[in-house]
Structure 1
């Protein structure tokens, strides 16, 4: 692992001091990691893999190998112990693996077929189409949270810079901020598999900018309750740890799950932690759509009308209180399928 870290740092043209500054880790520790006299923590492994653009799985395996060798050395029973541990890990992996229902597998196959079809029509795509669909997404995502602007009013605020009589300043800012947040996640799309704490906080900062500036881009410091839900989010002091585990889960699973399931999982996990005072729903949906767009899928637009909103909330409630995510996965998959079908129909008109 020490050579992995040193080689990657040198390839990036970084001095140990510069890497230490970027990672928020003491320079002396960086030197010790590279010489092999100290082992990074799991949190430090994540930071270093992102900053040095080393595959997380490769770095994690090297780290675990050294940790195991340090613990067991060349003890005569070491190989037998490793075999027992291997069997137990395989058992636990089988037990914890995500099982997809027949209904989910069916809709995911339909989505894959539609995506292939969409890819064959990409030459007919245009900025105007994307702009119209992104405007609809901003309108619907804000409508879910109670914004009363119509689609036309949202367009007038965002694209014409007009003020709508009878609508609050907050509603105007929600429209402008959400559209800017879409622009930001489109910038992130160029970074392969990018998703880290800095990006998440930047997205949230854009969502609440000018609305609750003191909480924009910051985790909550107080306990919260979700209106209309029996789910109780974790205490504020647990949020940083929960978020650390959130990003670890992502790094481990980002290339193992179907993109629609990965996106839905990251949405549900974030909204369940509820790390912010406000803006959790919009941020969670943006994270979901960042993942989908990075994988070449169109935005999954959840409509804000009463029927769709209630179905969305009920599926989330079941996932949060009964630990059964089937309904939520199906709901998101259906929205993605609808988005693909609509996109294809627009391009082939």
Structure 2
């Protein structure tokens, strides 16, 4: 950074005395900055950037790098600590929330108007409507993950207890388990439970029960990769800390942001951490819908057809690799809007 400052000053044809006057500091400090014997403060970095026309991001990055290198020096475990810090910094950055776009705000307004309309028709709601839509949700959520049972076959397996010829035992268990997991989150709603680690692990346990029993309801102990995605989930030794941060974020934000955004964020953040060997997608969508139902919305049923699935995966990929969640938040909000519209149309009939 010291060389960068000197070159920029000379290009501006400024003497150290002149630069010091413009910054409002002692001339000797400028010389020390350029020799590397003294580090400027963050506020001085900002002023130097403005006066010398140096890109602030470039200058502050050099400043942070110098501070890090100074701290680790020749420490034996300095490099390992740096690698751990980098991994944590990446995942902490994903927990920062950006302002909502006008497009997303407009969809949320539409959703809240639909919810008010739905509230006026609640007396016409029925168990059979909920049962049919929950079955569709099980079918679609499993279809996203590659389950080949049709909606009718899912009904036969879940409600009739039948087996479908040509379909694997895993596919049968995925249908049964998912339906039971829906039942479990409905029990949580009746008990007015807020999401916590214990309940999350219980949901995941139901999803993988009988499929991978040794990993059901447990965080992974190995590194994983997401098929078809360039996103690399955190190393297994970082999962527990990432999940701790996940629940801290939830507690800090559950009463501050719109429920649709809260639900979508909790879905994206969980699947990005990818804390389980398998069942991350289904568990993340169940967590999202638990939050939606808690706030009086309906299940946001993401379809499992090819086009919708690809749109869903693409939006997730962008959120995970560029820290730009706009597409994903819009996708979830639009899905909830369409689910509300359909629910209202069914009740009105």
Please state how far the C-alpha of 1:191 moved relative to its aligned partner.
4.1
Is the aligned partner of 1:226 residue 2:241?
A: no
Once the two structures are superposed, what CA deviation does each residue of 1:90-119 show, in whole Å capped at 9, x if it has no partner? xxxxxx653010100000000000000000
In structure 2, the residue matched to 1:321 is: 321
In structure 2, the residue matched to 1:26 is: none
The 3-state SS of whatever aligns with 1:300 is coil
Work out which of the two has the higher radius of gyration on C-alpha atoms and give 1 or 2.
2
Separation in structure 2 between the aligned mates of residue 323 and residue 329 of structure 1, nearest angstrom: 12
Unaligned segments of structure 1, at least 5 residues:
1-95
- Does the Cα contact within 8 Å between 1:271 and 1:284 map onto a contact in 2? yes
Is the aligned partner of 1:343 residue 2:308?
A: no
Separation in structure 1 between the aligned mates of residue 295 and residue 338 of structure 2, nearest angstrom: 17
In structure 2, the residue matched to 1:259 is: 259
In structure 1, the residue matched to 2:175 is: 175
Is the aligned partner of 1:247 residue 2:247?
A: yes
Separation in structure 2 between the aligned mates of residue 186 and residue 193 of structure 1, nearest angstrom: 10
Separation in structure 2 between the aligned mates of residue 196 and residue 125 of structure 1, nearest angstrom: 29
Separation in structure 1 between the aligned mates of residue 223 and residue 97 of structure 2, nearest angstrom: 32
Separation in structure 2 between the aligned mates of residue 293 and residue 322 of structure 1, nearest angstrom: 30
Please state how far the C-alpha of 1:206 moved relative to its aligned partner.
0.1
Separation in structure 2 between the aligned mates of residue 121 and residue 318 of structure 1, nearest angstrom: 38
Separation in structure 1 between the aligned mates of residue 97 and residue 172 of structure 2, nearest angstrom: 44
Separation in structure 1 between the aligned mates of residue 272 and residue 331 of structure 2, nearest angstrom: 17
Please state how far the C-alpha of 1:189 moved relative to its aligned partner.
1.1
Please state how far the C-alpha of 1:192 moved relative to its aligned partner.
3.7
Is the aligned partner of 1:283 residue 2:305?
A: no
> Number of aligned pairs?
254
Once the two structures are superposed, what CA deviation does each residue of 1:221-280 show, in whole Å capped at 9, x if it has no partner? 000000000000000000000000000000000000100000000000000000000000
In structure 2, the residue matched to 1:153 is: 153
In structure 1, the residue matched to 2:214 is: 214
Q: How does 1:1-16 map to 2 (within 5 A)?
A: none
Q: TM-score, normalised by structure 1?
A: 0.72
In structure 1, the residue matched to 2:198 is: 198
Separation in structure 2 between the aligned mates of residue 138 and residue 192 of structure 1, nearest angstrom: 23
- Does the Cα contact within 8 Å between 1:196 and 1:247 map onto a contact in 2? yes
Separation in structure 2 between the aligned mates of residue 344 and residue 324 of structure 1, nearest angstrom: 32
Separation in structure 1 between the aligned mates of residue 283 and residue 347 of structure 2, nearest angstrom: 29
Unaligned segments of structure 2, at least 5 residues:
1-95
Separation in structure 1 between the aligned mates of residue 294 and residue 165 of structure 2, nearest angstrom: 38
The 3-state SS of whatever aligns with 1:184 is helix
- Does the Cα contact within 8 Å between 1:193 and 1:294 map onto a contact in 2? no
Separation in structure 2 between the aligned mates of residue 217 and residue 283 of structure 1, nearest angstrom: 10
